[in-house]
Amino acid sequence: MTTTATTALHDLLEATQDAFQGVTGWAKRQGLQGVFPGLKLGGDVVIIKDDARVNYLLAFPDAAAEQVEALIDSAIVKHQLLLTPKDVVLCFARSKEGLCLGKVVDVDVDKGLVLQSLGKGRGSLHCIADLGRVPKIGEMLDVVYRAGKATERAPVSLETGRGR
């Protein structure tokens, strides 16, 4: 890439980032959605409250919303989770450190998604691409999101209290 092209691309990235934030900020003020920069699925993620269905709709830029919703619904039924799609969405809305610790309850390789139970009726959804590996159902997953990047932390040994 030439310097000119690199500069043009950089400008484009900067400009559209502002535009997208403007959109999400607008939607947030409308009470429609929350933005969760730690979670990526083909780009930034928007969660929109769908008034007509009195439910939360996961609206992904790659139009995978229905797939994601279906994954959550099926996992809830399959694993008899005390978890509703709304709880899952609310979990995404957390604004603290972005820590996600809990058992993997479903993995969908085709859709590239991992559903994790965080306990107390909450769950979290991760992209396999962000994790860099395919976790197994039932295993403990400890993920932290920082600056939009997912990092899987080393498990802590119960015997030694140390990571591996």
Partner 1 sequence: MLESLLAEVVESVEALKSVIAASTNPDEVQQLQLVQSRGLGICDVIRAEMARVGERDVAELATAAGKYVQAVSQFTAAAEGL
CB 102 within 8 A of CB 140: yes
Rounded to a whole number of angstroms, the minimum distance from the CB of residue 123 to partner 1 is: 22
CA-based angle 71:73:74, to the nearest 5? 65
Q: Between 20 and 79, whose beta carbon lies closer to partner 1?
A: 20
Rounded to a whole number of angstroms, the minimum distance from the CB of residue 75 to partner 1 is: 23
Rounded to a whole number of angstroms, the minimum distance from the CB of residue 48 to partner 1 is: 5
Q: Quick one: which of 8, 70, 129, 134 contacts partner 1 (CB under 8 A)? A: 8
Q: Between 64 and 105, whose beta carbon lies closer to partner 1?
A: 64
CA-based angle 152:164:39, to the nearest 5? 5
Cβ atoms within 10 Å, residue 105: 20
Question: Which residues inside 15-74 make contact with partner 1, applying CB under 8 A?
Answer: 15-27, 30, 32-33, 42-44, 46, 48, 50-52, 57, 59-63, 65
CB 100 within 8 A of CB 116: yes
φ/ψ region of 16 (left if φ > 0, alpha if ψ in -120 to 50, else beta) reads alpha
* Binding flag, residue 127, partner 1 (CB under 8 A): no
- Rounded to an integer, what distance in angstroms lies between the CA atom of residue 129 and that of residue 112? 7
Q: Between 52 and 154, whose beta carbon lies closer to partner 1?
A: 52
Give me the long-range contacts of 76-81 (CB less than 8 A, separation at least 24).
78/106, 79/105, 79/106, 81/105, 81/117, 81/123
Rounded to a whole number of angstroms, the minimum distance from the CB of residue 29 to partner 1 is: 8
Q: Where on the chain is the footprint of partner 1 (CB under 8 A)?
A: 1-2, 4-5, 8-9, 11-13, 15-27, 30, 32-33, 42-44, 46, 48, 50-52, 57, 59-63, 65
